[in-house]
Amino acid sequence: MWLIWLVHPRREEKHALYQQVGIVGVGLIGASIGRALKEKHLTKRVIGIGRSASSLAQALLVNSIDEAHTRIGPEIADVDLLIICTPVPLVVDAVDRAWTILRPDALITDVSSTKSTIMAEIERRRPKDRPVAEFVGSHPMAGSHRRGPEASRPDLFENHTCIIMNSTSATPHAREKVKAFWRALGMRLEEMSPQEHDESVARISHVPHLVSYALALSARERDLKVAGPGFRDTTRLGGSPPALWREIVRENRSAVLDGLDGYLAELKQLREMIEKEDWPGLENRLTDANQCVERLGSVASSKST
C-alpha cells in the first residue's frame, strides 16, 4: 500500500475530480470516455444514456458506465459534468433537455466535430431568465474508423489534441474545469473560436476524408491487386462511416467547400505543371509540400498544453 501511495501520490486528488459524470451517447467516444474515467478513478459513478438498449448493454459489459438509461431523465440531476457524445444533429436538443434537470453549477461539454452552428444554436436556446449549467464546446480529436462501445478504448485520448472553444458565453472558470477534464484523460489542449475551429478541421480532417473517399472510388478492381502501403494509408479514411461523415460535412458545409476549393486549386496547379511539362516548377511545389510535412512532424512533437 505504501509503495502504491508513493508511486501515485495524486490518486486521492484525481478520485475527487467528480462525484458523478453523465455520458449521453455511448458509442465509440462516449464509452471510451467512460472507461478512461473509471480506469483512472476520476469519478465515483458514470451514468450512461443512450437510445439503443443493445449499445447500453455493451457499454455496461465493457465497464464504461455504472448505470444505463434510454433517455435524459432525473437520474442526471446530481452529475457534476455531462458529456454529450451523440451524433451532431442531436446535441442541441440534448443540451436543451439537460438544462431542465441539471444543477446550475454543473458543467456540460460535447465532442462534436463541427462547432459554429451548434454553439450558436445552444446560445440562442439558453434560458436567459435563470442560471443554468454552463456549456463549454470541446472537440477531442481522437477516434477510429470502428464504431460502437465494443470498439472503445480507455487510452483513446492519450496524447491526442482536444480543441476547446474560447469565444462563447462560458466563463473562464468553466473552461478551465473542462480543460482539466480532458487533460486528465491524457489530451493536449488548444483553444480556438468556433469559426477558426470549423475552418481548421475542414482542412485537416473533413477535406482529407473526402480526398480519401474519392481516391478509393477512383481505383479499379485490377488496380487494387497491386496496391501497397502508400495506397492503404491514403485511403484508410475512406473506410469511415458514411452516415456520420455525411452529417459532419452537412454541418460544416461552407468551411468544407472552402477547404475543398483550396485543395483542388493546389492539385490543379500540380496537374497543369504536369500537362505543360514544367518539371522544375513541379519539383519546387513538391519541395514546398515536403516542408509542410516536416513542419507537421515538428509541430506534433513540440505540442504540449
Residues 224-283 that bind a copy of itself (CB under 8 A): 224-240, 242-243, 245-246, 249-250, 253, 256-257, 259-260, 262-268, 270-271, 274-275, 277, 279, 282-283
The CB-of-170 to a copy of itself minimum distance in angstroms stands at 20
The Cα 186–Cα 81 span in angstroms is: 18
The Cα 180–Cα 169 span in angstroms is: 19
The CB-of-132 to a copy of itself minimum distance in angstroms stands at 29
Under rule CB under 8 A, which residues in 282-301 are in contact with a copy of itself? 282-290, 292-296, 299-300
Can residue 167 be called a binding residue for a copy of itself (CB under 8 A)? no
**Radius of gyration from C-alpha coordinates of the chain:** 22
Please give the helix or strand (H or E) that residue 18 lies within, else none.
strand 18-24
DSSP 225: T
Partners of 109 in the β-ladder: 83, 136
**Closer to a copy of itself by Cβ: residue 68 or 215:** 215
**Closer to a copy of itself by Cβ: residue 70 or 269:** 269
Residues 68, 90, 141, 184: which binds a copy of itself (CB under 8 A)? 141
Can residue 147 be called a binding residue for a copy of itself (CB under 8 A)? no
Can residue 61 be called a binding residue for a copy of itself (CB under 8 A)? no
**Closer to a copy of itself by Cβ: residue 78 or 213:** 213
Please give the helix or strand (H or E) that residue 163 lies within, else none.
strand 161-165
Residues in the chain, overall count: 305
The Cα 84–Cα 10 span in angstroms is: 28
